[in-house]
Structure 1
Amino acid sequence: MSDPVLLASTKTLAIPEILCLIFDCMTLSALRQASLVCKEWERLANIILANQLVIPNDWYIHDLSHLWPFLDRRGEHVKALSLELSQSTRLVQEVDLERMARQLESILSRTPNLERLDVQVPREVKSSILTTVIGRYGKRLQQFETNLLNWEPSDMAQLLEGCSQIRHISGHNFTGDLLQAIARTQPLLSKIDCTHPRFDDDELIAFAKQFPNLLRLSVSLHQFMTSKALIGVADYCFQLEYLNFHFCLSLQSNGFQALLAVLPNLRFLDLGLTEVHDADIILVANRCPQLESLKLPFCGNLTQKSIRAIVQNCTKLVHLDLSFCDKIMLTIFGDPSTSSAFSASSSSTSASTPFSSWGCLGLEYLDISGIHASYSADTSVASALLPAMYHQLGLLTDLRTLKLSGHGFSLQILEQGRTELSKLTKLERLDIAKLRNPLPWATIIEIGNLFPRLTELQFRSNDVIPPQATLAQEQAIEEVEAKVGHRIKRGRFVDQQPEPLYQDDNDDGGQAGSTYLPAVIMADSCASSSRSATSSTTGTLSIPSEPSLSKRKRSRSPSPTPTTPSAADEDTITAEGSSEQDTKKKKWTSLGKAVEKQKQPEVMSATLRSGLKISFKLNGEDDEDSQGGPGDFESGGGVVGWGFP
């Protein structure tokens, strides 16, 4: 007899509506696997997959004939469409407008139920090309976004008259006339995003007056908007949930105070690169309990006082970006007045910690890159506050992304820190790039292995202290030392090649009797704090094959500086001296070749516990800004040139 529980589950999954709800919550890879179970599951999975379609790789240039059969079968299920371009194509000056119009018409005519459209076009395209096609086929369009820079108000009005159901519009260089066209044709509009706009304060206030139920207002890269605009918006728009004034440098505290005080429903706030102050953010903490996302990158006026108010009062916070706010210190994780008490009780349970925990324990994204986390002047403060940081991070068990990068951040992985960080079992992305002090390769691997779901680990090759030299390299160095008869200085590579050492046989102040000794530098994985202060490392041995033949004045300092020989010195060089230098040159060339044979590989890699493969270059030079980056994510689609996000 069949298992009744299994039979009931099978009957439940046979209901299309329930199955669609389950499929809608699946990841892309899981959905593709589910589509292989049977024809019915394949049909339902394809419907979910077709909801959002991305056509990258210069959509108007390439032949998309292979896409038409799919759209002929599934086009009615496509609700969101993104037409993307590469950076080089966006700057193209000459564009075949007729071909672009035909391509766009072929796509939109096959997607009759489209609700969201994102169109990227080259710089010189005129707005009339989009108006004609989109206005004809976008009858059900609710969200429209484009990077077009030269919108004509009449074209925008004509397009919007054909798409009367738009609720969300995004674009660049919006003027006051364009705002009036939007207000005249779109009474249902509730969200607007403007990048680098050209309207003034009065024109924005007039627009806000016509949309008292506006939910989203995003105005970024506006260098001339003043607090007058914010005060005017505060008189009409009380329902705003999304507010973005990123890189609006002319805004002042009085405008922030007026607007933020009347927005109790605010859920998203981006004030990055503005003149916001602690009083403004404290007002957010007291008046906006529904806040879910707060972005404050490069806000140089903020201190830990306002951030402590945010993390304690905004309990629904999910996303927090404090990157490169250089006045914020690690005291956001604990009160410095009780640091000694914490240091004495650090071995006790977390319940006895004197620091008050954050209220936003559901945080999923935290970026504290570049905050003032280096305490070189007072190591006792650092020893007390770093455990507090790790303790608080260990409580954020829902964290998915953690960024600790930045030259001012001196990361120390303490024993308490390893224990606390291992509690972040959901962490998927970790950024430790551009640290003040590099970490040994073994330590980076150990950090990555703390997180079983890690899919992205960001760091640079210069952030890594390579593992120590192999036995063969040690033997090669010993052979060189034996032939030279002098101990060779060892250490890690630094940004500049060390000055060569000299052995003065006659102690004559660096005259003709000086003997050149090569400086062989090798990688060292010792994790002592005194040896981890160098910012650039490599694992290859370096020995010059052609030493300089110019005379140098001997220096008593650890790093002698070269001096150019005078004309009198050059006259004293004899033929016999030149012959001796040529002999030494040949000798060092052969020794250099012997050591170079023992070089380590150029790239070192490792596979973490999560399956993520990380690597770094021993020469310290990265092709990109970071190494050990994202894993091999599955990209969508079964046809080259288009796919699902």
Structure 2
Amino acid sequence: MAVEGPKFQLIREDEAPINRKLPKELLLRIFSFLDVVSLCRCAQVSRLWNVLALDGSNWQKIDLFNFQKDVEGPVIENISRRCGGFLRRLSLRGCQSIGDGSMKTLAQLCQNVEDLNLNACKKITDTTCTALSRHCPKLQRLNLDSCPLITDHSLKTLSEGCSNLTHINVGWCSNISENGVEALARGCPKLKCFISKGCKQISSRAVICLARYCNNLEVVNLLGCCNIRDEAVQVLAEKCPKLHYLCLSSCTALTDASLIALAQQCTMLSTLEVAGCSQFTDAGFQALARSCRYLEKMDLDECVLITDATLIHLAMGCPRIEYLTLSHCELITDEGIRHLSMSPCAAENLTVLELDNCPLVTDASLEHLTSCHNLQRVELYDCQLITRIGIKRLRSHLPNIKVHAYFAPVTPPPTGGSSRQRYCRCCVIL
């Protein structure tokens, strides 16, 4: 008797259990939680899922950075047509092939976009910003970091058509000057975040204008804007009391007058980065510590004039400090670290302490740090008086701590009977 083969029943895709039991509206809602990669995979399952997965409502937030390293212009144009008015947030970070043509299409078709990240899209020019100004009045966040072809014209056009801007990043856009910043400030009074790292043409006048027209500023990053003077920081502090993040690193012309102004007006400061501000002294940080009790992160790298007195003031006045950088502060000693280790911030919050190139810091400091139970990382590069024994003792008390240190090769002792010093091992090759 012949044996019949197994019987297979073909199921139409619309009759698959999940499609029969769940209404399309619910499937659409489920798809709305998926990322770009998952949506593309679902679109290949069946015709029904293709329609649902590629529905514009599922593409309101798109980040292509982890999806494809460098998308071409036609991909952006296809996304623009598919998403239309649904698109709210788009990140094209690192997509260096994207040009003005595809961005003009995006601006025309996706006029409800609110958050656009063009970081390192190096072909983007002022033409893109002009299109955004004409077609995207709801734009609130724009990241133009490392877009070298952007000029003041972009900021002027954005000020005319994008008055709802709250966050803008023009870091490393070297063609931006005070003229563009002034136009932006006058046209975008809702600004809360202004980042202009490395924009050396930005002057005190630009910062003063920004402060006067944008009183809601909370985040300001002026790293490397070396033309900034005390008067700019004083007006910024006076007009923007909501400021909680401020980076003035490498603004080398600033003095204690800036710190005193911040202490008097910006009591909500939580992050202050002033690396390379070599004119700041203990007096400025003493004023700051008395008023700014919410400070959590401080970068004082290369504030070469500060002494243990600054640490004593911070220990008494800033109980929330989590991250403290004191690298290249060559006057800091074990006594300052001792006061810091006994402070409320050390007992409860301090997690990162950087002490690179602090030549007066010894193993005694590590002994003091054993009481900092939440300490997770300590940087000790080129601290010549720190030993392996001291680090081992610290780790015995804080077994999960990461200690980064470097020990130079030991110079061999001179040979007997020879008055000439031998080369150390690391110089033999010379």
If the length of structure 1 is used for normalisation, what is the TM-score? 0.52
Task: Identify the match of residue 300 of structure 1 among 256, 278, 287.
Answer: 278
Deviation at 1:384, TM superposition (A): 3.7
Contact 1:323-1:371 at 8 Å conserved across structures: yes
- Report the counterpart of residue 203 of structure 1 in structure 2: 180
Between the aligned partners of 2:60 and 2:354, the Cα distance in structure 1 is 34
Task: Identify the match of residue 260 of structure 1 among 234, 237, 261.
Answer: 237
Contact 2:363-2:386 at 8 Å conserved across structures: no
- Report the counterpart of residue 372 of structure 1 in structure 2: 330
Q: Report Cα offsets for 1:543-580 as digits up to 9, x if no partner.
A: xxxxxxxxxxx7425x2579xxxxxxxxxxxxxxxxxx
Query: In the superposition, relative to structure 1, how do residues 299 and 111 fare at CA in structure 2: closer, same or farther (>3 Å)?
Result: farther
Report 1 or 2 for greater relative contact order, CA contacts < 8 Å, sequence distance ≥ 6.
1
Query: In the superposition, relative to structure 1, how do residues 384 and 225 fare at CA in structure 2: closer, same or farther (>3 Å)?
Result: closer
Task: Identify the match of residue 101 of structure 1 among 42, 67, 73.
Answer: 73
Contact 1:297-1:323 at 8 Å conserved across structures: yes
Contact 2:330-2:358 at 8 Å conserved across structures: no
Deviation at 1:286, TM superposition (A): 0.9
Contact 1:80-1:116 at 8 Å conserved across structures: yes
Moved over 6 A (4+): 46-49
SS of the residue 2:340 aligns to: helix
Between the aligned partners of 1:459 and 1:333, the Cα distance in structure 2 is 22
- Report the counterpart of residue 4 of structure 2 in structure 1: none
Is the counterpart of residue 435 in structure 1 residue 382 in structure 2?
yes
Q: Report Cα offsets for 1:398-451 as digits up to 9, x if no partner.
A: 2333323335462434586144223x2xx4x41324132264445434434544
Structure 2 counterparts to residues 222-621 of structure 1, below 5 A: 222-274=199-251, 275-334=253-312, 357-374=315-332, 382=333, 384-392=335-343, 395-406=346-357, 408=359, 410-413=361-364, 417-422=368-373, 424=374, 427=375, 429-437=376-384, 439-441=386-388, 443-448=390-395, 450-451=397-398, 457=402, 459-460=404-405, 462-463=406-407, 493-494=409-410, 498=412, 501=415, 555-557=418-420, 559-560=421-422
Contact 1:433-1:463 at 8 Å conserved across structures: no
Between the aligned partners of 1:450 and 1:333, the Cα distance in structure 2 is 23
Between the aligned partners of 1:442 and 1:112, the Cα distance in structure 2 is 64
Contact 1:144-1:166 at 8 Å conserved across structures: no
Query: In the superposition, relative to structure 1, how do residues 143 and 124 fare at CA in structure 2: closer, same or farther (>3 Å)?
Result: closer
Deviation at 1:309, TM superposition (A): 1.9
Give 2:342's aligned amino acid.
H
Give 1:136's aligned amino acid.
L
Percent identical residues: 18
Between the aligned partners of 1:441 and 1:106, the Cα distance in structure 2 is 59
Deviation at 1:284, TM superposition (A): 0.1
Task: Identify the match of residue 155 of structure 1 among 118, 123, 128.
Answer: 128
SS of the residue 2:91 aligns to: strand
Between the aligned partners of 1:365 and 1:313, the Cα distance in structure 2 is 19
Give 2:323's aligned amino acid.
Y
SS of the residue 1:255 aligns to: helix
Between the aligned partners of 1:451 and 1:162, the Cα distance in structure 2 is 57
Between the aligned partners of 2:186 and 2:118, the Cα distance in structure 1 is 23
Query: In the superposition, relative to structure 1, how do residues 263 and 133 fare at CA in structure 2: closer, same or farther (>3 Å)?
Result: closer
SS of the residue 1:284 aligns to: helix
SS of the residue 1:286 aligns to: helix
Instruction: State the aligned residue count.
Output: 385
Deviation at 1:297, TM superposition (A): 1.3
Between the aligned partners of 1:48 and 1:293, the Cα distance in structure 2 is 39
Deviation at 1:273, TM superposition (A): 0.5
Query: In the superposition, relative to structure 1, how do residues 450 and 138 fare at CA in structure 2: closer, same or farther (>3 Å)?
Result: farther
CA RMSD of superposed structures (Å): 3.9
Task: Identify the match of residue 180 of structure 1 among 146, 156, 164.
Answer: 156
Q: Report Cα offsets for 1:50-107 as digits up to 9, x if no partner.
A: 58x698xxxxxxxx96586699659856765433389xx88xxxxxxxx713444566
Is the counterpart of residue 167 in structure 1 residue 112 in structure 2?
no
Contact 2:189-2:213 at 8 Å conserved across structures: yes
Contact 2:320-2:345 at 8 Å conserved across structures: no
Contact 1:308-1:332 at 8 Å conserved across structures: yes
Q: Report Cα offsets for 1:458-477 as digits up to 9, x if no partner.
A: 514x349xxxxxxxxxxxxx
Q: Report Cα offsets for 1:212-256 as digits up to 9, x if no partner.
A: 332222222122222222233333222222222110011222222
Task: Identify the match of residue 192 of structure 1 among 168, 173, 176.
Answer: 168
Between the aligned partners of 1:330 and 1:160, the Cα distance in structure 2 is 51
Larger radius of gyration: 1
If the length of structure 2 is used for normalisation, what is the TM-score? 0.75
SS of the residue 2:196 aligns to: strand
Contact 2:202-2:225 at 8 Å conserved across structures: yes
Between the aligned partners of 2:355 and 2:86, the Cα distance in structure 1 is 44
Give the gaps of 5 or more residues in structure 1. Answer: 1-42, 56-63, 91-98, 336-355, 375-381, 465-492, 503-553, 563-618, 621-645
Contact 1:300-1:325 at 8 Å conserved across structures: yes
